[in-house]
Amino acid sequence: MNIWTQLELRFRVNADRPALTDNNGTSISYGELLVKVKGIAARIRAQSAVGSRICILHTHSYFDALAVLGTLAADRIVVPMSLNYGETNCCQIMMRAEPCLLLSDVDPLPDSIATIIKDKQIGIMQITAESGETWNGDAVAVESDLAMLMFTSGTTGVPKGAMLTHGNILANLGDIAAYFTMTPEDHFLIARPLYHGAVMTGEFLHGLMHGARITFYNEAFSPRRLLAFLAEKACTTMCATPTLFYHLAMNKRKVELPALQKVVVSGECLNPQVAEQILTSFPGVRFFNVYGLTEASPRVCHLDPEYFLAKIGSVGVPLKSVRIRVVGEDGIETARGEIGELLVQGPNVMRGYWKDEKLTAQKIVDGWLHTGDMCRQDDEGFLFIIGRKDHMIIRAGVNIYPQDIENTLLKDEAFKEVMVWGETDANYGQRICAAFVPASEAAMSSADIIGICRKRLDAYKWPDEVLVVASLPRNASGKVMRARPQVPPPALAPVTV
């Protein structure tokens, strides 16, 4: 089983149909795409050995798409990166994955990445619209069953590389197709980077497998612009976080989207008020709510449109070939309705974390993937995600670990203690809150703290709210309770966003 051989068959069937819209807005057909991909694959194979990891980092998702397909066609291992997660994240991924090539058009590359490339003697290959790829006609032998290393954030701040095989991803694609139909008549708008498993599998590869036309929205988010773009391009399908769709729903001016038929929301817990708002604002659109995690390639559950309102906030039922269990702290299955951790088993579950057997053994126990997500199932088996076992914050669809922020900030001698937690926020889904105990008795202002955060943290980890407190709240056994301190000192009022 190989993703590219499956895709190539579909590309040939749909050769005359529009495939991708390039960075200039011009559409290329599946036939043209096939030629481009083969050309890129030939160049990648000439510069890499079997089993090589190929890092991918572009300014426009169209080039990421070509690079991903070229790497798959070359039977090398795809390692997507995104500058949205900061330079540090890219550097950590490159250090972990040890690629032999970086496919990138970022010019100039940030110094930290350029240094790694030089030190590790990593090759750089550019894929541009003008590079005139040609197909050399070589058939590609299938040599590796590992398709992708998808990196995801971790509690320690070092990203973990989920090893996804061709079999993992193809199994997930098959299950997704069973409930989420795409056809060559569909026009898929992809508004998030391929760095996310949900986008890579659930949007990009799923769309290509079924001959849909794919257009990338590459701008920073602006609801009015995105709505105008959706209307102008007559897109039929889109996936987004609930937060993003809530902002679209709240846009002042009503924008008619007669072509839009299907929307999939994922990446955050869906608040019932948000669900009602988006249903009201986009009548006639079929909304799905889905759940997954990178380690499961990623899709695990789906809530179909007919249940979107009836089971509001639920992520639905497991995919056809996925089995789930909800277990308590003792590892025993909970009764229906009771909260426990969600465990997942199926052909979509990753092989493990790249070069991290210890972490793999913690995550996959007796063949069950421990998601870290706390949930409950109702009487009919519909699943509701309640929160995270490890307090992970999901802000605007981005996973952020409080422990990571705390460990980084505690390196600053200004702080004695730091505690970070997430709170529900209409604009971001969740926002980052942080309480600080200063190391000295000298007065410390919110501005001082924010200045340190800016210096030490990547931008997407900056707290939305900071509190200065005399001590952190603790339970009877002295353990820090990760929640808003009840009574902040009156003289040091919180800064609220």
Binding region for other proteins (CB under 8 A): 219-225, 228, 243, 247, 252-253, 396, 427-428, 445-448, 450-451, 454, 459-460, 462-466, 495-497
Smallest gap, in angstroms, from Cβ of residue 469 to other proteins? 17
Considering beta carbons, is residue 318 or 397 the nearer one to other proteins?
397
Other residues' Cβ atoms within 10 Å of the Cβ of residue 446: 17
Considering beta carbons, is residue 159 or 397 the nearer one to other proteins?
397
Considering beta carbons, is residue 247 or 376 the nearer one to other proteins?
247
Asked if residue 431 lies in contact with residue 395, where contact means CB atoms within 8 angstroms, the answer is yes
Q: Where are the alpha helices (DSSP H) in 206-285?
A: 206-209, 223-233, 242-249, 272-281
Considering beta carbons, is residue 243 or 399 the nearer one to other proteins?
243
- Cis link prior to 463 (omega < 30° from 0)? no
Considering beta carbons, is residue 219 or 333 the nearer one to other proteins?
219
Considering beta carbons, is residue 47 or 84 the nearer one to other proteins?
84
Asked if residue 339 lies in contact with residue 374, where contact means CB atoms within 8 angstroms, the answer is yes
Tokens representing 350 are: 């990753």
What is the C-alpha to C-alpha distance for residues 55 and 50, in angstroms, rounded to an integer? 15
Among the listed residues 66, 51, 74, 65, the one whose alpha carbon sits nearest the alpha carbon of residue 4:
74
* Paired residues of 187 in beta bridges: 213
Smallest gap, in angstroms, from Cβ of residue 438 to other proteins? 16
Give the phi and the psi of residue 354 in degrees, each rounded to 5.
Answer: -60, 120
Smallest gap, in angstroms, from Cβ of residue 59 to other proteins? 12
Tokens representing 103 are: 């496919």
- DSSP letters, 354-369, are TT-HHHHHHHEETTEE
Asked if residue 390 lies in contact with residue 401, where contact means CB atoms within 8 angstroms, the answer is yes
Smallest gap, in angstroms, from Cβ of residue 93 to other proteins? 22
Smallest gap, in angstroms, from Cβ of residue 446 to other proteins? 5
Smallest gap, in angstroms, from Cβ of residue 272 to other proteins? 21
3-state secondary structure of 410: coil
Considering beta carbons, is residue 63 or 354 the nearer one to other proteins?
63
Tokens representing 393 are: 């914050």
What is the C-alpha to C-alpha distance for residues 449 and 12, in angstroms, rounded to an integer? 57
* Paired residues of 345 in beta bridges: 323
Among the listed residues 422, 423, 415, the one whose alpha carbon sits nearest the alpha carbon of residue 472:
415
Smallest gap, in angstroms, from Cβ of residue 256 to other proteins? 14
Q: What one-character DSSP code corresponds to residue 7? A: H
Considering beta carbons, is residue 28 or 435 the nearer one to other proteins?
435
Tokens representing 361 are: 């053994």
Smallest gap, in angstroms, from Cβ of residue 114 to other proteins? 20
Asked if residue 378 lies in contact with residue 384, where contact means CB atoms within 8 angstroms, the answer is yes
119-131 in b/e form (b: 16+ CB < 10 A) is eeebebbebebee
Smallest gap, in angstroms, from Cβ of residue 264 to other proteins? 20
Give the phi and the psi of residue 207 in degrees, each rounded to 5.
Answer: -60, -45
Smallest gap, in angstroms, from Cβ of residue 134 to other proteins? 33
Q: Where are the beta strands (DSSP E) in 328-414?
A: 340-345, 352-353, 364-365, 368-377, 383-388, 393-395, 398-400
Considering beta carbons, is residue 229 or 307 the nearer one to other proteins?
229
Considering beta carbons, is residue 209 or 248 the nearer one to other proteins?
248
Unique residue bearing structure tokens 């000439």: 46
Cα 13 to Cα 9, 29, 207, 359: the distances in Å are 6, 11, 14, 42
Smallest gap, in angstroms, from Cβ of residue 497 to other proteins? 6
Smallest gap, in angstroms, from Cβ of residue 250 to other proteins? 9
What is the C-alpha to C-alpha distance for residues 405 and 423, in angstroms, rounded to an integer? 16
